[in-house]
Amino acid sequence: MSSTSNKIDISQISDEQLPVAKHQLKGWKHFMGLYAGEHVAATEFVFGATFVALGATMTDILLGLLVGNLLAVLSWTLITTPIAVETRLSLYTYLQKIAGDSMTKLYNWANVVIFTVISAAMITVSATAVRFALDIPAQLNWYPTNMAFVAVVAAVGVIVVLVAMYGFNAVSDFSRICAPWLFTMFIAGPLILMPVLSDAVIGTTLVSSWADFMEIGTSSVWTGLTPSGEPGIGLIEVIGFSWAANTITHFGLIDMALLRYAKRKRYGLCTSAGMLFGHYIAWISAGIMGAGTAILVQKSIVQLDPGDVAYHALGLSGLVIVIVAGWTTANANLYRAGLAAQAIFKDKSRNKTTAVVGAVTVCIACFPFVFTKLLPLLTYAGLLVVPVGAIVFAEHVIFPRIGYTRYWAQFKNITHSTPAVASWGLGLVFGFGLNALDVISFYYLFIPTWFFTIAVYTVLAGKYGAKEDYTQEKAELNAFCEQVEAYQTEQAVKLPDHIDDTSVVSRLLRFVSVASLLVTIVMAANTFLMSGDMAHYETNRDLFFNLGFACTLIYFSTAYWAMRRQKALVK
- Residue 311 backbone dihedrals phi, psi, to 5 degrees: -65, -45
Helix, strand, coil distribution of the chain in percent, nearest 5: 80, 0, 20
Do 300 and 445 sit in the same domain of this protein? Answer: no
Cβ atoms within 10 A of the Cβ of 538, count?
Answer: 14
Do 184 and 331 sit in the same domain of this protein? Answer: yes
Do 499 and 545 sit in the same domain of this protein? Answer: yes
Sign of the Cα torsion 84, 86, 91, 93 reads positive
Domain interval for residue 335 = 28-386
CA–CA dist 298, 62 (Å, integer): 26
Do 333 and 454 sit in the same domain of this protein? Answer: no
Does a structural domain hold residue 61? yes
Q: How many domains does the chain have?
A: 3
Does a structural domain hold residue 431? yes
Give pLDDT, residue 2: 42
Do 381 and 444 sit in the same domain of this protein? Answer: no
Do 152 and 259 sit in the same domain of this protein? Answer: yes
CA–CA dist 317, 544 (Å, integer): 10
Do 570 and 521 sit in the same domain of this protein? Answer: yes
CA–CA dist 433, 165 (Å, integer): 39
Does a structural domain hold residue 87? yes
Domain boundary residue, one of 429, 444, 468: 468
Does a structural domain hold residue 412? no
Does a structural domain hold residue 13? no
CATH number of the structural domain spanning residue 85: 1.10.4160.10
Give pLDDT, residue 173: 67
Does a structural domain hold residue 295? yes
Do 459 and 493 sit in the same domain of this protein? Answer: no
CA–CA dist 500, 569 (Å, integer): 8
Do 189 and 231 sit in the same domain of this protein? Answer: yes
Do 445 and 506 sit in the same domain of this protein? Answer: no
pTM above 0.75, yes or no: yes
Point out which residues pair with 100 in neighbouring strands: 416
pLDDT tens-place values along the chain, 571 residues long: 444 445 566 766 766 678 888 888 888 888 887 787 777 766 677 677 778 888 889 999 999 999 999 999 999 999 999 999 999 888 888 888 888 888 888 888 888 888 888 888 888 888 877 777 777 777 777 778 888 888 888 888 888 888 777 765 666 666 678 878 888 988 999 999 999 999 989 988 988 888 988 988 888 888 888 877 888 888 999 999 889 888 988 999 988 888 988 999 999 999 998 898 878 988 898 888 888 888 888 877 767 777 778 888 888 888 888 777 777 777 777 877 887 787 788 777 778 888 888 889 888 888 887 766 776 777 788 888 999 999 999 999 999 999 999 999 888 888 888 899 999 999 999 999 998 898 888 889 999 999 999 999 999 999 998 888 888 888 888 888 888 878 777 777 776 666 676 788 888 999 999 999 999 999 999 999 999 899 999 999 999 999 999 999 999 999 988 888 877 775 5
**Residues 6+ positions from 564 with CB-CB distance below 8 Å:** none
Please report the DSSP string for 296-354 in residue order: HHT--GGG--HHHHHHHHHTHHHHHHHHHHHHHHHHHHHHHHHHHHHHHSTTS-HHHHH
**Residues 6+ positions from 192 with CB-CB distance below 8 Å:** 292, 313, 314, 524, 527, 528, 541, 544
**Residues 6+ positions from 152 with CB-CB distance below 8 Å:** 127, 130, 131, 134, 136
Does a structural domain hold residue 321? yes
Do 313 and 429 sit in the same domain of this protein? Answer: no
Does a structural domain hold residue 130? yes
Do 344 and 205 sit in the same domain of this protein? Answer: yes
